[in-house]
A and B are shown apart, each in its own frame.
Chain A
Amino acid sequence: MARYESLLDALGGTPLVGLPRLSPAVPEGAPPVRLWAKLEDHNPTGSIKDRPAFFMVREAEESGHLRPGDTILEPTSGNTGIALAMVAKLRGYRLVCVMPENVSSERVQLLRMYGAEIIFSPAAGGSNQAVATAKQIAAEHPDWKMLFQYGNQANARAHYETTGPELLQDLPTITHFVAGLGTTGTLMGTGRFLKEKVEGIQIVAAEPRYGEVVYGLRNIDEGYVPELYDASVLDRRFSVGTRDAVLRTRQLVEVEGIFAGFSSGAILHAALAVAHDAVKNGKRADVAFVIADGGWKYLSTGAYGGTLNDAEDALEGQLWA
């Protein structure tokens, strides 16, 4: 179907494309090992976050948490904010985003274009500064509504009800699903659905490993694990550094013509690891992974050109996923 009543109706149903050139070669006579990319940049605002944003708003409306004209307050480093801004605009809400100032300028411009207001938490002050900023906002505006993507079950449910079924329909032979680990919503929702339907499927997480500047933690007890996270859904979890993420992001566009953001490069890195394991063990594999967004929003980082060392320097201290 290619005709929709409104932009929100065009959500999901994204293409799943094979990657014949990036899939590892197998010895003659060995079972095939294939990589498949789910192009989530084909969603209305260009990222996978359109799914949870729409589901979270719809559920808040149905439960009465959100009423017409309300202000939504959401901490986000980018794509969720952009997706929420679009949904809020079409459904009649005001959106205020709290975000760290070390995200790419395109994200900020996009948010403002969609009509969102932004409150920055200083990057240099680390998390304690962000905490102070957020506490202040909450105290000043007790009537603002939070959807809180890190703990909102509608975030995971969006993927349980859409991403998972789409993958199963397009790739019934799926053996592995690989996605990024942030709020954990994609992996929890899609992972639960696929585990119910596909025996032996492996759910694999790729998490970005930033330079330490970005974490800004003073001690271990300041760490945070999203409420949505349930480790039993995962089979493997990879930490992917900036260099590997950039290398794979460049390979995606150079080898397969897919222009993606850096988190997708990190996801491909993990997908290749499980694909190579399958080749080594002589096992058949259909590895589906997520292209979370396109590369447009990250061009200003300069990390698509120059040497890998240049790119690493360019992304130092940035939230690239």
Chain B
Amino acid sequence: MAIEVRVPTILRSYTGGAKTVEGAGSTLTELIDDLDAKHNGLKGRLITAEGGLHRFVNIYVNDEDVRFLGALDAKLSDGDSITILPAVAGGALGFAAAAALLGR
């Protein structure tokens, strides 16, 4: 079962520079385990030590945020498209500037 996963630039050091990789699994947890087996260390960037999704990582199944689809238990099907993105909403640079102004 093949699922296409789009990897952001900042995580491509784990995929040998590849923009998209293929994985397998019937849940997001299984998929991430499968990806980690092929791209060692990737899991550690997506999942915290406590076992949840990293706060600044958003993962989308067919453009929908997995946090609202059961998070790591989200069900996956053959042909699904997964996108991993860093958490920045509109006006990314504005956010960074604002955070800096407030000393955060």
Contact = CB atoms under 8 A, between A and B. Distances in A.
A126 to B, nearest CB: 8
B24 to A, nearest CB: 23
B91 A182 contact: yes
Interface string A251-287: 0000000000001000000000100000000000000
B98 A75 contact: yes
Given A135-B100, A239-B63, A319 B91 contact: yes
Interface stretch (B28-36, B51-59, B72-80): B51-59
A67 B30 CA distance: 57
A146 B94 CA distance: 13
A210 B92 contact: yes
Given A236-B68, A237-B67, A237-B68, A121 B88 contact: no
B89 interface: yes
B88 A217 contact: yes
Interface string B80-104: 0001011111111111111111100
A216 B92 contact: yes
A95 interface: no
A135 to B, nearest CB: 5
A207 B86 CA distance: 13
Q: How would you classify the secondary structure of chain B's contact residues: helix, strand, loop or mixed?
A: mixed
A224 B87 contact: yes
Contacts of B102: 146, 148, 151
Contact of A239 (B54, B65, B97): B65
A182 B92 contact: no
B25 interface: no
A131 B103 CA distance: 10
B9 interface: yes
Interface in A204-220: 205, 207-210, 212, 214-220
B10 A218 contact: yes
A208 B94 CA distance: 15
A208 B90 contact: yes
B65 to A, nearest CB: 4
B14 to A, nearest CB: 12
Interface string A55-74: 00000000000000000010
Interface string A217-230: 11111111110000
Interface string B1-41: 00000001111000000000000000000000000000000
Contacts of B86: 215, 217, 220, 222-223
14 contacts: A77-B90, A98-B94, A99-B93, A123-B93, A127-B95, A148-B101, A217-B92, A237-B67, A238-B63, A238-B64, A239-B58, A239-B64, A239-B85, A319-B90
Given A134-B101, A263-B90, 9 more contacts: A77-B90, A134-B100, A138-B100, A220-B57, A224-B87, A224-B96, A225-B56, A225-B87, A239-B63
